[in-house]
Structures are given as structure tokens and as C-alpha cells.
Amino acid sequence: MADHDHTYKLLFSHAELVTDLIRGFVHEDWVGEIDFSTLERVEASFITQELRERESDIIWRARWGRERWLYVYLLLEFQSTVDPFMALRVLVYTGLLWQSLARDGELSASGRLPPVLPLVLYNGDRPWGAALDLAELIEEVPGGLELYRPRFRYCLLDEARIADEELTPLRNLAAALFRLEKSRDAVDVDRVLTALLQWLHTPEQSSLRKAFAVWVVKVLSNRLPGVEIPQLADLQEVKSMLAERVTEWTRQWKQEGFEEGLEKGLEKGLEKGLEKGQENSLERLRGVLLREMADRFGAIPESVRGKVAGIGSIEEIARLIARTATAPSLDALEL
């Protein structure tokens, strides 16, 4: 989990990804007033009351309005269980940030503390059910004491609960990251990698391409623990590796398909369920093959698509995927 944390922070150390995250998923009017061209990373460390040094989570700042700075505190949450006291944690971390800014004289023109957007990214399987406001964690009391019940709210992005229909049409790096996070087969991963290679093609974006490559390899390693995956740092190499190694990985997808078929077979008949599981695996691989063909040869004729749709062997599809990487033409594949 610590390695995953590190690769996530590597990604969010790039201004383009932070910009797309806020523009694409913080749906509030004031976001339109942020000058993202001024976005810059803030390096800081905090000292808690116990005198233990705590390296900060990722902090960025950008001009908001004419002269004000808005600080974006990215708290990357990777726990498998929801933290019911997250609001308290975020308050403590944000308070430490304000304390540091006050100590260093980083105040607004009026001498006040700058505004902070505490942003929590959560990628757990369970829906986030913790309180979003600190006030919800404090016992209600009658009378005047209620006046001293603090309110402090953080912004939550629960990645798994963002609908695919919202993510897929976006030309947005954060959306691509969330799609990769949610992907469960090679077709999904290949589709997102194709988009990322189109978006991140300039020399200035090489560092971000590398960060995505490292992160994708880490995700694939976690998803396929029984498969040896090379540690690549180039996004195109990762995409090529995905196509070349698909023969090896089909064993796992095939097993997943049969397991799905077995589960459905309990209700609808074992034989029918197994057939469904097999077809799911075939459909995924047909999608990988067509995408690899399109990347190498351009638009695919309907006649070729029809032939691919008729292939009923996982081994045959895997063979064609491997040949596509070096074939000079579609005709050379001899479909």
C-alpha cells in the first residue's frame, strides 16, 4: 500500500493532473476564478505537538481572484476501511498548514489566513460513509454551548462512485486516472493508455508520461499477482507490453470468465454459465485485438471486424494480437 501511495503522490506532483482534478471534479462556481497558470507546489513539513515531524501531504497553491492565494491540500486516502474521524484528521492537518503559513508570514493582503480547499481522494471498495463535517462528530448540546461547536468541512472525491458515463467522455487526466483505477481487464486499460498517449505527446510532458507508466505497472502488478510484469517507465512501452503479454495473461482472464460462469451457472444452469464466462473473456480479447489493429493500420473495414467477431478461440486471438505488432499490413494477418 505504501508503494501505491508513493506512485499516487508522484502523479499528483504534476500541475496538469491537479488542474484537471479540480476543474473536472470540484463542481463549484468559485473554481472559475482560479488562475491555474499560477499553480505551484508548496513544500512544507509540520511539527505536531508531540514534536514528531510529519511530512505534509501534497499542497498546491494558485491565485484566486486578483491577489489572493488559494491553497489546495490534497489528502490521499488509501485505507481499505473508511476512517470515521477523517473530518478531525483533515482539521488537524489544515490547522498545521495555517500555523506554518502564519509563522512564515504567508498571509493575505488583509493579514488574514489564506483560504484552503481540503480535498480527500478515496479509492476504497466500500462507499465513503464518514462525516464530511466536523460538527457531525461532536455531541449536540442545548443552550449557548452550541455556539462553540466548530464546523469544518472537507471536499471528498470517492473515485469508485463516479459513474463511468461521466468519466469516459472527458478529456481529463484525472478522469483517465480514475478509469484506470476502476479498470478490471486489458481492454479497459488499453483504451485509457491510447488516450493518454494522444494527450501527453509533447517533450514537456515526459515526466507525467513516466509517472503514469510507473503507476500503471504498479496497478497491474497488484491486479495480476501471479504474473511477472517488467518495471517500465515509458507509457508506450507499457501499452506495447500489454499487447505482447496478453497471451500470458489470458489464463487469468479465462479463469475469471469461468468463475463468473460458475457463479451464474448456480442460477441458470452450469453449462450455460460456463459458456457465458468463456464468451466474456473472448469479447474482451476481441476488443484488444481491434484496438491494436486500429493503432497500427488505421480504420478497420467492417469485413475485418466481422471476421474478428467470428473468432471463437482465445489462443487464436492472442496469436493475432502478437502478430499485429510486427505485421506490415492487415492482409498479412491472414484473417
Q: Can you tell me whether residue 115 is helix, strand or coil? A: coil
Give the pLDDT confidence score for residue 250 in this predicted structure.
54
How many whole angstroms separate alpha carbon 199 and alpha carbon 209? Answer: 10
- Give the H/E segment covering residue 223: helix 206-223
- Kindly tell me the sign of the dihedral angle through the C-alpha atoms of 202, 206, 210, 211: negative
Q: CA 91 from chain center: how many Å?
A: 25
* Pairing mode, strands 116-122 and 155-158: parallel
Give the pLDDT confidence score for residue 196 in this predicted structure.
94
Nearest to 44 by CA among 32, 30, 59, 31: 59
Give the pLDDT confidence score for residue 34 in this predicted structure.
92
Give the pLDDT confidence score for residue 117 in this predicted structure.
92
| Beta partners for residue 244, in sequence order | none
- Tens-binned pLDDT, residue by residue, of the chain (335 aa): 445 567 888 899 999 999 999 999 999 999 998 999 999 998 777 665 544 555 667 899 999 877 789 889 887 765 566 889 999 999 998 998 899 889 888 888 888 999 999 999 888 778 888 999 999 999 887 777 888 888 999 999 998 888 888 898 999 999 999 988 887 666 778 888 999 999 999 999 999 999 999 888 887 776 665 567 778 888 888 888 877 766 555 555 555 544 444 344 434 443 444 344 455 667 777 887 888 788 778 888 888 888 888 888 777 777 787 677 667 778 878 77
* Pairing mode, strands 58-64 and 53-55: unpaired
- Kindly tell me the sign of the dihedral angle through the C-alpha atoms of 105, 107, 111, 115: negative
Give the pLDDT confidence score for residue 27 in this predicted structure.
92
| Cβ–Cβ under 8 Å, residues 172 and 154 | no
Q: CA 83 from chain center: how many Å?
A: 20
Give the pLDDT confidence score for residue 14 in this predicted structure.
93
Q: Can you tell me whether residue 24 is helix, strand or coil? A: helix
